[in-house]
Amino acid sequence: MSAVINAKGSCLCGNVHVSVQQQNANIGVCHCSMCRNWTGGPFVGVDCGTDVKFTGAQSISIFKSSDWAERGFCNVCGTHLFYRFIDCQTHIMPAGLFDDDSSFEMDHQIFIDEKPTYYDFANNTNNMTGEQVFAAYASAGE
């Protein structure tokens, strides 16, 4: 895994700033219906682990979107800040949130079976269906 050390970013209005100790440089795209509803398109995310610090926490609202995850956003400007797994506190954050995206490489897409027909990415990526995603995470937790 290639990593970006000490990544920084902020929401659109600047009320929330984020600092990530170590972030995966591999970008993933989620095509599930929930992510598309949340973002208005596919969610382009980067795994930022658990060592994530926010300033401006008073401007962060959190929505529990499933039994296992919650989504955070700036309650002033609406910028999406994170998709966070509740149990392990791992943050998947929008790639566009960060100041420097020069190290990012899109290498995987999930819920490819839910991707609408009106867009496609040219990148050669590892693609997983929703069933494959749930199977992979279920076996990883055993």
Q: Which ranges of 26-129 does DSSP label H, i.e. alpha helix?
A: 33-39
* Cβ proximity of 111 and 120 under 8 Å: no
Asked if 69 and 83 touch (Cβ cutoff 8 Å), the reply is yes
Q: In the chain, where are the structural domains located?
A: 3-140
> What top-level class would CATH report for the domain 3-140?
mainly beta
Distance CA 54, CA 17 (A): 6
Q: What is the pLDDT along the chain (142 residues), one digit of tens a residue?
A: 577 789 999 999 999 999 999 999 999 999 999 999 999 999 999 999 999 999 999 999 999 999 989 999 999 999 999 999 999 999 999 999 999 999 999 999 999 999 999 999 999 999 999 999 989 876 554 4
Edge-first strand order for the sheet with 3-10 is 3-10, 17-24, 52-55
Which amino acid, one-letter code, is at 64?
K
pLDDT of residue 4: 77
Identify the DSSP state of 112. G
3-class SS at 88?
Answer: coil
